[in-house]
Amino acid sequence: MLILNIILHEWKKSIRGQGFYKSLVVNILLAIFAVSLAIVLLFIGYSLGGMLERLDNPLTPLQLMNGAMLYLMFLDLTIRFFMQQLNSFNLVPYQTLPIKRSALINLILLKPLINPLNYFTFFIIIPFAIQSVMHYYSFAVALQFVICLVLGTWFNSLLTAFLKRKYGADVLSFLFLFLLIALILWLEFKKHFSLFSLSLAVFKFIIFNPFGLLIPVSAVILAFYLNKWFFTQNYYPEQFKESHIGDKMFQSKLVFLNNFGAVGALISVYVKLIFRHKRTRSILYMSVFFLSYGLVIYTNDLFYTNDGLLYLVSVFITGMLTFMFGQWIICWDGSHFDNIMTQNISIRTYLNANYILLIIFDLICFLLTTPYLFLGIRLFYLHIAALIFNMGVNVYLLLLLSTLKNKSIELSKATTMNYQGTTYKSFLVVFSILLLPLFLMIFISRFTSVEVAIWILTFFGLSGIFMRKQLISICVQQFYKRKYLMARGFREGE
Amino acid sequence: MLQIKNLQKSYNGVQVIDINQLTIPKGECFGLVGNNGAGKTTLFRLILDLIYANKSEVLINKEKVSRNDGWKKITGSFLDESHLIDFLTPEEYFSFIGKLHYKSKENITDFLELMKDFFNGDILETNKLLRDFSKGNQKKIGIAAALLGDPHLLILDEPFTGLDPSSQIRLKRFLVELQLRLNTTILISSHYLNHVTEVCQRIVVLEKGIIVKDLQTNDDTLMELKEYFEVLT
């Protein structure tokens, strides 16, 4: 009864929350994305059995699957470690009410299990179970197989929650898991130790033995009590608080910013903003990780022989950080917008600081991606052209479009799959930034050639860089027009 | 110092501020009282150009505030602790605000030395972020930051609320001193009638956005205000 009440509260909180209806468009887009993903997964599940049959191997598809199972679970664990959010259910209002603590903890632990994201893999598993497992064995085996995987999902979810709470989800622990998998794979290939045959044996027992399911059941129970144990060890919420003492060193290196007056002062605040919030930190790391996408794309013949495509990819890669954070400028000041607006900062200085921040991001990405010149000096020239376009066109666009948003962003919460603060306007920003060079490219190259198109876009960029004063003035005018609306939106968001 | 002419603001057709004429001369300490919803904070936000006025003429130092940045140099303000940049430490926050006013490191250190009493040892060198401080301490930080730029005009919204008794007394002393020493024009709003009458030379009562009383403070003012608010209930 109690649990039902609390779930009801949570539900009310989500539909009465600010901007639930405002972000309806976002929700619809996400739903479309989910449906299309489900269809793709169903298709994969449908054809998986056939693909495994065709392998030159005496094992049945189920046996192959069983052998790979421990690997898959490890992989799942790694992905979860990165993606799965800790349940940030707000305990405080309930703590003083006469509710048993253990009931609340059970709720915190079990609620993530009803998250539909957990069960997306079953779009693959169920068709596979019907097609391949039932075909070779029996309905009972197929059922046992599916149940085993449901339990496996629960086990992984609970274990991830425990590991994340206990060890924290920084990049180092992610790297550690990654290396562990690499090590096991290496052992497998060197034939020192085969996780494959171990997995095969274990899952053969689980799925074919009538009592086999006792193993995953006890694993789930074990993981559940591990979590419980953690909560008895860490009774008070304050024990989870992250400290910021670690970035002391880093700040001392920022002293040079002091020489740039108000702009420098603002930028050093932004640097702290990025490093002291989980969400921005993880975006930063992910962007740097995405830079390596170039390795995949640039080495692909389809791209490498097409200058137009290559240029567009360069625009994207040299602008990675700018695009990622450019969507958030100004509205990440949401919670202290009134404060900034009454400080001794002119609007021009404020926008200038944001402009320079974005330029710095562009330059960082450009420098980080210079190693791609080893793939061909042509790429290096394209990167320079793309950098100029980003600095002279995209930066101003981001600055202009950022004034459209009037919903502040909650930065301290969670990492991936967090759509808080995302409105249809965010999609607008991303699309216009990504599509503008594409359309220009298609349009101009239609009448001339790709090479001329790149030169013209670069020329746009250069003129943008030289007309900084005038263009910033336009942004200032736009900012004044939107100032009150933004301030009001940010205040409401609190 | 501050001139308001014909200031009107309405939300969905409901008038929340309607002030025909209000002039605050330089060096005056001006108190604003009124029940919840009287429009005190709205008035301050209008003065600081944070909300759009339907009709307005707000001048600070004879300069219009809207679409203008000049007044920011001489105006220090603190409205709400939730608007602090909460991921900074107090030291970082002061140095940020200080830099905006072209203060050197030494200037800021001297200033913080002056504030030591007011801070009561709870704030500096604690290695905590602003978001981890209590509301009262956040308020102290905000008020101190508003003073950091040597403002000619100081605007504080409910500065006494949430402060402990000692800090309230210290703040009162502080404001009186500030006015004597630098001839600062001070605007404060408060629910504490006795504090306002002690600090302010002039008190204006706001009700539903309209000025209903404009008093020069004397020995009877506190009684008069108490009577006025008793009748209202």
Q: What is the DSSP string of A196-262?
A: HHHHHHHHHHHHHSTTTTHHHHHHHHHHHHHHHHHHHHS-SGGGGPPP-GGGHHHHHTTGGGGGGHH
Q: Are residues A354 and A209 in the same domain?
A: no
Is B176 within a domain? Answer: yes
Interface contact A345, partner B, CB < 8 A:
yes
Q: Residue A70 pLDDT more than 90?
A: no
Interface contact A244, partner B, CB < 8 A:
yes
Tell me which of B9, B16, B50 to substitute to probe the interface with A (most A C-beta atoms closer than 10 Å): B50
- Give the N- to C-terminal CA distance of chain A in Å, as an integer: 31
Are A342 and B75 inside 8 Å of each other by CB? yes
Highest mean pLDDT among A79-83, A175-179, B103-107, B184-188: B184-188
Q: For chain B, what is the mean pLDDT?
A: 88
Is B103 within a domain? Answer: yes
Rounded to whole angstroms, the Cα distance separating A14 from A20 reads 7
Q: How confident is the model at residue A1 (pLDDT cuts 50, 70, 90)?
A: low
Burial B169-197 (b: 16+ CB within 10 A, else e): ebbbebbeebbeeeebbbbbbbebbebbb
Is B118 within a domain? Answer: yes
Is B14 within a domain? Answer: no
Q: Which among A364, A376, A374, A392 is positioned nearest to A462, based on CA atoms?
A: A392
Cβ pair A156, A82 in contact under 8 A: no
Q: Residue A218 pLDDT more than 80?
A: yes
Is A11 within a domain? Answer: no
Kindly state the helix (H) or strand (E) to which residue A46 belongs, with its residue range. helix A24-54
Cβ pair A236, B47 in contact under 8 A: no
Are B96 and A341 inside 8 Å of each other by CB? no
Is A204 within a domain? Answer: yes
Burial B57-72 (b: 16+ CB within 10 A, else e): ebbbbeeebeeebebb
Is B167 within a domain? Answer: yes
Q: What does the pLDDT average to over B170-185?
A: 88
Q: Are residues A437 and A486 in the same domain?
A: yes
Sorted by sequence, the CB contacts under 8 Å of residue B103 that are 6+ apart come out as: B111, B148, B149
Q: Residue A388 pLDDT more than 90?
A: yes
Q: Which of A262, A339, A341 sits opposite B99 (nearest CB)?
A: A262
Residues 17-46 of B with CB under 8 A from A: 45
Nearest-CA residue of chain A relative to B86? A336
Q: Decide which of A433 and A477 is more confident.
A: A477
Nearest-CA residue of chain B relative to A261? B99
- Here the CATH number for the domain that contains residue B158 is 3.40.50.300
- Among A255-259, A276-280, A460-464, whose mean pLDDT is lowest? A255-259
Chain B residues lying within 8 Å of A244, measured CB to CB: 129
Q: Residue A241 pLDDT more than 60?
A: no
pLDDT at A422: 63
Q: Which among B209, B225, B214, B162 is positioned nearest to B45, based on CA atoms?
A: B209
Q: Are residues A218 and A337 in the same domain?
A: no
As a whole number of angstroms, the longest Cα–Cα distance in chain A is 77
Nearest-CA residue of chain A relative to B67? A480
Rounded to whole angstroms, the Cα distance separating A185 from A202 reads 18
- Angle A82-A427-A389 from CA coordinates, rounded to 5°: 95
Is B68 within a domain? Answer: no
pLDDT at A56: 74
Q: Which of A221, A240, A259 is the last residue of a domain?
A: A240
Query: Please, what is the angle between helix B135-147 and helix B105-119, to 10°?
Result: 140
Cβ pair B35, B11 in contact under 8 A: no
What's the number of domains chain B is made of? Answer: 1
Chain A residues lying within 8 Å of B67, measured CB to CB: 480
Q: For residue A471, what are the domain limits?
A: 250-492
Q: Are residues A62 and A201 in the same domain?
A: yes
Q: What is the CA radius of gyration of chain B?
A: 18
Are A261 and B67 inside 8 Å of each other by CB? no
Phi and psi angles of residue A160, each rounded to the nearest 5 degrees, phi first: -60, -45
Chain B residues lying within 8 Å of A346, measured CB to CB: 69, 72
Q: How confident is the model at residue A238 (pLDDT cuts 50, 70, 90)?
A: low
Q: What is the pLDDT of residues A194-211, one digit of tens each?
A: 888 888 888 888 888 888
Cα–Cα distances (Å) from A384 to A313, A358, A365, B23, in that order, read 13, 16, 11, 58
Q: Residue A489 pLDDT more than 50?
A: yes
For the sheet with B153-157, list strands across it: B75-78, B153-157, B185-189, B29-33, B202-207, B210-216
Q: Which of B52, B79, B132 sits opposite A338 (nearest CB)?
A: B79
Share of chain A above pLDDT 70, in %: 83
Residues 258-277 of A with CB under 8 A from B: 258, 261-262, 264-265, 268-269, 272-273, 276-277
Rounded to whole angstroms, the Cα distance separating A344 from B179 reads 21
Nearest-CA residue of chain A relative to B79? A339
Q: Are residues A305 and A176 in the same domain?
A: no
Cβ pair A401, A426 in contact under 8 A: no
Nearest-CA residue of chain A relative to B100? A262
Nearest-CA residue of chain B relative to A480? B67
Q: Which among A417, A413, A448, A445 is positioned nearest to A89, based on CA atoms?
A: A413
Is A222 within a domain? Answer: yes
Are B51 and A484 inside 8 Å of each other by CB? yes
- Angle A310-A424-A438 from CA coordinates, rounded to 5°: 20
Tell me which of B45, B63, B74, B85 to substitute to probe the interface with A (most A C-beta atoms closer than 10 Å): B85
What's the number of domains chain A is made of? Answer: 2
pLDDT at B141: 92
Cβ pair B110, B180 in contact under 8 A: no
Tokens matching residue A434? 């990504």
Is A7 within a domain? Answer: no
Q: Are residues A344 and A212 in the same domain?
A: no
Interface contact B68, partner A, CB < 8 A:
no
Is A12 within a domain? Answer: no
Q: Are residues A196 and A258 in the same domain?
A: no
Are B100 and A276 inside 8 Å of each other by CB? no
Tokens matching residue A339? 């404060």
Is A445 within a domain? Answer: yes
Give how far the C-alpha of residue A13 lies from the chain's centroid of Cα atoms, to the nearest Å: 24
pLDDT at A390: 92
Q: Which of A336, A348, A487 sits opposite B85 (nearest CB)?
A: A336
Rounded to whole angstroms, the Cα distance separating B172 from B146 reads 15
Cβ pair A329, A358 in contact under 8 A: yes
Tell me which of A340, A342, A490 to substitute to probe the interface with B (most B C-beta atoms closer than 10 Å): A342
Q: Are residues A331 and A446 in the same domain?
A: yes
Q: Decide which of A245 and A363 is more confident.
A: A363
Interface contact B96, partner A, CB < 8 A:
yes
Rounded to whole angstroms, the Cα distance separating A319 from A395 reads 9
Is A5 within a domain? Answer: no
Rounded to whole angstroms, the Cα distance separating A454 from B193 reads 70
pLDDT at B145: 92
Q: Are residues A181 and A220 in the same domain?
A: yes
Interface contact A344, partner B, CB < 8 A:
yes
pLDDT at A451: 85
Is A46 within a domain? Answer: yes
Q: How confident is the model at residue A222 (pLDDT cuts 50, 70, 90)?
A: very high
A–B: how many Cβ contacts below 8 A?
73
Q: Are residues A275 and A225 in the same domain?
A: no
As a whole number of angstroms, the longest Cα–Cα distance in chain B is 53
Cα–Cα distances (Å) from A279 to A102, A327, A362, B12, B57, in that order, read 30, 13, 20, 37, 42
Kindly state the helix (H) or strand (E) to which residue A416 belongs, with its residue range. none
Nearest-CA residue of chain A relative to B80? A339
Interface contact B81, partner A, CB < 8 A:
no
Q: Which of B52, B80, B100 sits opposite A262 (nearest CB)?
A: B100
Is B67 within a domain? Answer: no
Rounded to whole angstroms, the Cα distance separating A338 from A5 reads 38
Give the CA dihedral A71, A75, A78, A84, nearest 10 degrees: -130
Q: Are residues A272 and A295 in the same domain?
A: yes
Q: Residue A461 pLDDT more than 80?
A: yes
Q: What does the pLDDT average to over B173-191?
A: 89
Are A336 and B86 inside 8 Å of each other by CB? yes
Q: Which of A208, A240, A272 is the last residue of a domain?
A: A240
Q: What is the pLDDT of residues A97-149, one digit of tens each?
A: 777 777 777 877 887 787 777 888 888 888 888 888 888 888 888 888 888 88
Q: Residue A355 pLDDT more than 90?
A: yes
Interface contact B102, partner A, CB < 8 A:
yes
Q: Are residues A401 and A325 in the same domain?
A: yes
Cβ pair B31, B200 in contact under 8 A: yes
Sorted by sequence, the CB contacts under 8 Å of residue B92 that are 6+ apart come out as: A272
pLDDT at A197: 84
pLDDT at A361: 92
Q: Helices (DSSP H) in chain B: which residue ranges?
A: 40-47, 90-100, 105-119, 135-147, 165-182, 193-199, 221-232
Q: How confident is the model at residue A245 (pLDDT cuts 50, 70, 90)?
A: very low
Q: How confident is the model at residue A413 (pLDDT cuts 50, 70, 90)?
A: low
Q: Which of A240, A262, A296 is the last residue of a domain?
A: A240
Interface contact A338, partner B, CB < 8 A:
yes
Q: For residue B157, what are the domain limits?
A: 26-54+74-232
Rounded to whole angstroms, the Cα distance separating A253 from A270 reads 15
pLDDT at A357: 93
Q: How confident is the model at residue A356 (pLDDT cuts 50, 70, 90)?
A: very high
Q: Which of B69, B75, B97 sits opposite A346 (nearest CB)?
A: B69
Is B202 within a domain? Answer: yes
Q: Which of B86, B92, B149 sits opposite A344 (nearest CB)?
A: B149
Q: What is the CA radius of gyration of chain A?
A: 26
Query: Please, what is the angle between helix A468-492 and helix A395-402, to 10°?
Result: 30
- Angle B40-B43-B45 from CA coordinates, rounded to 5°: 110
Interface contact B67, partner A, CB < 8 A:
yes
